[in-house]
A = this chain, B = another copy of it.
Amino acid sequence: MLPEAISVLENSEPAIRHESLLADCAAGPVSTAVAEIFAAAARPGMISLAGGNPDLSFLPMPELGKSTDAIVANQGQQALQYGAGQGTEELRIQICELMALEGIIGASPGNVAVTIGSQSALDTVTKILCNPGDTILTDDATYMGALGTFAGYQADVQPVRTDDDGLIPEELQLRIVSLRNAGKHIKFLYIIPNFNNPSGITLAGNRRNRVVEICREANIFVVEDNPYGLLRFGGENLPALRACYPLDVIYLGSFSKIFAPGLRIGWALLPPHLVQKFLILGGSSTLCPPALSQMLVSAYLRDYDWQAHLSVAVGSYRQRRDAMLTALAACMPPGVTWTRPDGGFFIWLTLPPSIDTQALVHRAFDANVAFFHGAAFLPRAGRSNQLRLAFSAVPAGMIEVGIQRLSRVISAAVDTTF
């Protein structure tokens, strides 16, 4: 229903009259494909392997309620008032301690900016670095929310080829040269090194410093988005790209996957010479992060055994990933392959090249299962024979049923194609 309703609006008299008032990023019809999938995923009976929601069932809600009560009752004048645009000092100190778990040692709270999730951190980074037409490099498939941010600033997004070990350094090098030869102004590489969204792939340890060195030599920032780093359930811990490169990597973190996305608290760790620009231009988007949310995150990190809660959640995510891998192996027809992530929320399926997964979205709705088609994660418009499955928010038993439903849709498509 949604697309019809919108096309009516977009042809209304005021819509036509106002067409000349739109920025280039908002001109033309907007795609409602993502909104449509989220809406369908919420229908009764649907098994949603679409959205990457964290599982919050492990949070001690009654205790968190009491903590929130205490914050508002005893510190309400602070919790409900405007606060510093950079965020509270207590939280920024805690964030520096947290980042040490990712190999970032000795970061200064003065270089941390608390943001509205890491999404608004990415928005501000893009704002301070990109004029319209400037180029951003990404993995060959990447977080669709980042692509939305980049589109809002009319950036030119260019994918770099990846394999099972993540971004290929040699490809990065070649791509920089060829884009520069084509007159492109490259501003940064956006990369999710741990359990990439959508692919689940992790950038290999022996590629990490190499990737940053290539960008550094080419004078290009690296923007490292690491929401899933602490959600590892296999393989060895790898240090963040930022660990050895405080001046060349902008690091984005988030409490959305390790605590509570509804509080909308993330952060950026910035090279010192970018801090003031980030704060002033970021403040113009959101003024300051919510004080109540910040104080609840601080209380959670300070007063709770949050690492114990997290390890329970990680155990559950591991179990769900295993359930999905098992079901995929049992159900999928020949010609379908998938990634085996060591952490995070997502598995990435590759179907035979002749199949456009966007065409399967509605057939899957009819079979009561939802996923995101690969094209949603492509930096350049195009068709995709890949799709993303999220295992984070669905109990193992339902994952099995969901994969059975999906396999029938995919099998039918494969049969029709051959």
A interface residues, Cβ below 8 angstroms from B: 6, 9-10, 12, 14-15, 17-18, 20-26, 30-32, 35, 51, 53-54, 56-57, 59, 61-62, 64-66, 68-74, 76-83, 116-117, 119-120, 123, 127-132, 134, 145, 148-149, 151-152, 154, 187-188, 219-221, 247-248, 256, 259-264, 271-277, 279-281, 283-293, 296
Q: In the complex, what distance in Å separates the CA atom of A117 from the CA atom of B20?
A: 28
Contact A72–B83 (Cβ < 8 Å): no
State how many angstroms separate the Cβ of A74 from the closest Cβ of chain B.
Answer: 8
Q: Are B59 and A76 in contact (CB under 8 A)?
A: yes
Choose among B65, B77, B83, B187 the residue that contacts A21 (Cβ–Cβ < 8 A). Answer: B187
Cα distance, A260 to B129, chains bound together (Å): 33
Q: Give Cα A64 to B83, complex, Å.
A: 19
Which residues of chain B are within 8 angstroms of A276 by Cβ–Cβ distance? 6, 9, 30, 32, 35
**In the complex, A188→B69 CA distance in Å?**
43
On whether the beta carbons of A23 and B128 are closer than 8 Å, the reply is: yes
B152 touches A79 (CB 8 A): no
User: What is the bound-complex CA distance between A79 and B264, given in angstroms?
Assistant: 11
Q: Is the CB of B286 within 8 A of A286?
A: yes
CB-defined contacts of A56 to chain B, threshold 8 Å = 76-77, 80-81
Could you list some 13 contacts between A and B, CB below 8 A? A9-B273, A12-B273, A17-B219, A18-B271, A21-B188, A32-B276, A53-B82, A56-B80, A64-B72, A79-B262, A116-B116, A116-B286, A149-B285
A24, A57, A74, A281 pick with most chain B CB within 10 angstroms: A281
* Contacts A117-B287, A149-B284; A221 near B21 (Cβ below 8 A): yes
CB distance from A314 to the nearest CB of B (A): 18
Q: A26-B129, A220-B21 are in contact. Are A82 and B9 (CB under 8 A)?
A: no
CB distance from A138 to the nearest CB of B (A): 15
Residue on B nearest A275 in the bound complex, by CB = B9
Interface of A is mostly: helix
**Given known contacts A9-B272, A293-B290, A119 and B262 CB-to-CB distance under 8 angstroms:** no
Instruction: Name which residue of chain B comes closest to A147, CB basis.
Output: B284
Task: Give 11 new A-B contacts, CB below 8 A, not counting A21-B188, A82-B262.
Answer: A30-B276, A35-B276, A61-B72, A68-B69, A80-B261, A80-B263, A119-B286, A148-B281, A262-B292, A263-B290, A285-B286
Q: Is the CB of A260 within 8 A of B119?
A: no
Complex: how many Å from CA A310 to CA B131? 44
Q: Residue on B with the closest CB to A73?
A: B65
